[in-house]
Structure 1
Amino acid sequence: MQQNQQNKIQNPETQIPKTPQMNERDFVNDLLTTEKYMTGAYNIALNEASNQTLYQDLATIFKETQDCQRNLYNLMFKNGWYALEQAEQTKVQNSYQQFSGYKNQLPYAVQ
C-alpha cells in the first residue's frame, strides 16, 4: 500500500485492458454500486417491517448483502481501483469535539 502526494492511500493499480467493452474493474464497480444501493433499501425495509419474522429474514439478507458489499470494496481496494484520502488529524479532532458536544444535548446523556 502506498500514499501519494495528494494524501491518498491506495494499492498499486492492477492494470486492465482499456477497451469500449466492460472490463473486470467495471463489473466489480457495478456490483459494488448495486450492493450499496441494496443495503440502503434493506435498511429502509428493516425500519418499516412490522412483522417480527419478516424483520428477522430481512436482517439476515441485509447482513449477507452488507458482507458482499464489503468483500467487493476489499477487492477493489486490493487491486488499486479504490483510493482513500487520509484525513488531517486536526479535522478528525475537530469533528470528534463537535459530535462529543452533541451527546450532552440528548435527553438520556450517554456517558
Structure 2
Amino acid sequence: MTMQSILTEQEIVTDLLTSEKHHTSTINTFITESTCSNLRQNLKDILNEEHSIHENIYNLMNQKGWYPTSDAQAQDVQKVKDKFNSLQV
C-alpha cells in the first residue's frame, strides 16, 4: 500500500514561485555569459516574460495572505538608495 501525499494550493503556488526565482536567476546568468547578441536578446525577452509570471504568482500569494509584505518606510528606502548610489562608479 502506498501513501499519497496531497499538496495544498499554497504549497503548489509556493513551489511555483520558488521555481520562477530559480528560472530568472538562471536566465540572467545565461544573458550575461552569452556572446551572441541574438541569443542574448531572446533570453532578455524570455526573462521579461518570467518576471511577469513571477509577479502574477506573487500577487496571488499576497492576496491570499501567503506572502504578506509591508511598505518600507521612506527613510529606509532612502538609505538603500544612498547605499546603492555610493556603490556606483
Q: Give the shorter-chain TM-score range.
A: 0.7 to 0.9
Distance 1:88 1:59, change over 3 A: closer
Ranges in structure 1 where 5+ consecutive residues have no aligned partner: 1-19, 107-111
Cα distance in 2, alignment partners of residues 56 and 95 from structure 1: 30
1:31 equivalent among 1, 16, 29 = 16
Paired residues in the alignment total 85
Counterpart of 2:50? 65
Paired residue type of 2:63: K
Paired residue type of 1:30: D
Regions of 4+ moved over 6 Å: none
1:75 equivalent among 55, 60, 64 = 60
Shift of 1:87: 3.5
Shift of 1:88: 4.3
Counterpart of 2:6? 21
Q: So what's the TM-score if we normalise by structure 2?
A: 0.79
Ranges in structure 2 where 5+ consecutive residues have no aligned partner: none
Cα distance in 1, alignment partners of residues 83 and 51 from structure 2: 29
Distance 1:53 1:21, change over 3 A: same
Identical residues among aligned pairs (%)? 34
Higher helix share: 2
Higher strand share: 1
Counterpart of 1:49? 34
Distance 1:92 1:66, change over 3 A: closer
RMSD, matched Cα:
2.1
Paired residue type of 1:41: T
Paired residue type of 1:58: L
Cα distance in 2, alignment partners of residues 98 and 55 from structure 1: 30
Paired residue type of 1:46: I
Distance 1:26 1:96, change over 3 A: same
